[in-house]
Amino acid sequence: MFGLNKIIPVEPNINFLRLRRNFLIISSIAIIASIVLLFFKGLNLGIDFKGGTLIEVSTKNTSIGELRDILSVSFNDVSLQEFGNENIILIRLQNKNNQESIETINNVKDIIQDKVVEFRRSEFVGPTISSELLYRGFQAVSFALIAILIYIWLRFEWQFGFGAVVALTHDVIFTLGLLSILNVEFSLATIAAILTIAGYSINDTVVIFDRVRENLRKYKKLELVDLFNLSVNNTLSRTVMTSLTTLLALFSLFIFGGEVIRPFALTMIIGVIIGTYSSVFIAVPTLLIFKFRPQDDDD
Amino acid sequence: MKNYPIWKSFTVISLVLLGIIFSIPSLVYDENSENWFLKNKINLGLDLQGGSYLLLEVQLDVLYDEELENFSDSIRLLARDNQTKINQINTQNNEVIVTFNNNNKIDEIKNSFFQMYRGISLQVSNNQLTIKLDDLYKKTIQDSAIKQSLEIVRKRIDESGTKEPLIQRSGKKRILLQLPGVKDPERIKELLGKTAKLTFHLVDDENIDALNANIEPFGKMIVSDIYDDKIKYLLDKRSLVGGENLVDAKGSFDQTEGHAVSFRFDTEGAQKFGKATSNNIGKRLAVLLDGVVITAPRINSAITGGSGIITGNFNAQEASDLAVLLRAGALPAPLEIVEERSVGAGLGADSIAAGKIAAFIGMMLVCIFMILIYGSFGAIANVSLIANIFIIISLLGTIGATLTLPGIAGIVLTIGMAVDANVLIFERIKEESLKNTKVFQIVKNGFDRAMSTILDANITTLIAAVLLFAFGSGPIRGFSITLSLGVIASMFTALMLTNFLLYLYLSITKKKELVL
Nearest to A153 by CA among B460, B464, B421, B450: B460
Chain A residues near residue B460 by CB distance under 8 angstroms: 148, 151-152, 199, 202-203, 206
A232: contact with B, CB 8 A cutoff:
no
Chain A residues near residue B189 by CB distance under 8 angstroms: 102
Instruction: Write the DSSP symbol of residue B42.
Output: P
A258: contact with B, CB 8 A cutoff:
yes
A111: contact with B, CB 8 A cutoff:
no
Superfamily of domain B61-138: Eukaryotic phosphomannomutase, cap domain (3.30.1240.20)
CATH architecture of the region A14-45+129-287: Up-down Bundle (1.20)
Which value does ipTM take for this structure?
A: 0.88
Q: Do A245 and B355 lie within an 8 Å CB cutoff?
A: no
Nearest CA in chain A to B477: A192
Q: Element (H or E) spanning B201, and its range?
A: strand B198-202
**Burial letters for B309-346: b for 16+ Cβ neighbours within 10 Å, e otherwise?**
bbbbebeeeebbbbbbbbbbbbbbbbbbbbbbbbbbee
CATH number of B200-316: 3.30.1360.200
> Among partner residues A125, A151, A204, which is closest to B459 by beta-carbon distance?
A151
- Give pLDDT tens digits along chain B (516 positions): 667 888 889 999 999 999 999 998 888 877 777 777 887 888 888 889 899 999 999 999 888 888 888 888 888 888 888 888 888 888 888 888 888 888 788 888 888 888 888 878 888 888 888 988 888 888 888 988 999 899 989 988 888 778 789 999 988 889 999 999 887 788 888 888 888 888 889 898 888 888 888 888 878 888 888 888 888 888 888 888 888 888 888 888 877 778 888 888 888 888 888 888 888 888 888 988 888 888 888 888 888 888 888 887 788 888 888 888 888 888 888 898 899 999 988 899 999 999 999 999 999 999 999 999 988 899 999 999 999 999 999 999 998 888 999 999 999 999 988 889 999 999 889 888 888 778 888 888 989 989 988 888 888 888 888 888 888 777 788 889 999 999 999 999 999 999 999 999 988 887 777 766
CB contact set of B457 (below 8 Å; sequence gap of 6+): A203, A204, A206, A207, B420, B421, B424
CB contact set of A52 (below 8 Å; sequence gap of 6+): A92, A93, A94, A95, A101, A124, A125, A130
Question: CB–CB of B396/B42 below 8 Å?
Answer: yes
Nearest CA in chain B to A156: B456
A56: contact with B, CB 8 A cutoff:
yes
Q: Residue A297 pLDDT > 50, yes or no?
A: no
Angle, nearest 10°, between helix axes A20-40 and A158-182?
50
Tell me the CATH number of domain B6-45+344-509, given options 3.40.50.2300, 3.40.50.150, 1.20.1640.10, 1.10.1740.110.
1.20.1640.10
Residue ranges of B 70-89 with Cβ closer than 8 A to chain A: none
Instruction: Return the CATH fold of A52-125.
Output: Alpha-Beta Plaits (3.30.70)
* pTM metric for this prediction: 0.84
Q: Any idea where the domains of chain A sit in the sequence?
A: 14-45+129-287, 52-125
Chain B residues near residue A215 by CB distance under 8 angstroms: none
A143: distance to nearest CA of chain B, Å?
7
> Among partner residues A211, A235, A256, which is closest to B357 by beta-carbon distance?
A256
Q: Residue A3 pLDDT > 60, yes or no?
A: no
Q: Do B461 and A207 lie within an 8 Å CB cutoff?
A: no
> Among partner residues B362, B424, B460, which is closest to A202 by beta-carbon distance?
B460
What is the arithmetic mean of pLDDT over A280-297?
Answer: 73
Chain B residues near residue A147 by CB distance under 8 angstroms: 463, 467
3-class SS of residue B73: helix
Report in angstroms the alpha-carbon separations of A142 from A131, A194, B87, B137, B190.
17, 11, 57, 36, 40
Q: Do B413 and A234 lie within an 8 Å CB cutoff?
A: no
A217: contact with B, CB 8 A cutoff:
no
Nearest CA in chain B to A212: B453
> Among partner residues B339, B452, B475, which is closest to A129 by beta-carbon distance?
B339
Question: CB–CB of B258/B335 below 8 Å?
Answer: no
Q: Do A207 and B424 lie within an 8 Å CB cutoff?
A: yes
> Among partner residues A4, A10, A188, which is closest to B372 by beta-carbon distance?
A4
Give CA–CA dist B332/A121, Å, rounded: 31
Quick one: pLDDT band at residue A144, thresholds 50, 70, 90?
confident
B195: contact with A, CB 8 A cutoff:
no
Q: Any idea where the domains of chain B sit in the sequence?
A: 6-45+344-509, 61-138, 200-316
Instruction: Write the DSSP symbol of residue A157.
Output: -
- DSSP bridge partners of B230: none
Q: Do B453 and A207 lie within an 8 Å CB cutoff?
A: yes
CB contact set of A23 (below 8 Å; sequence gap of 6+): A281, A282, A285
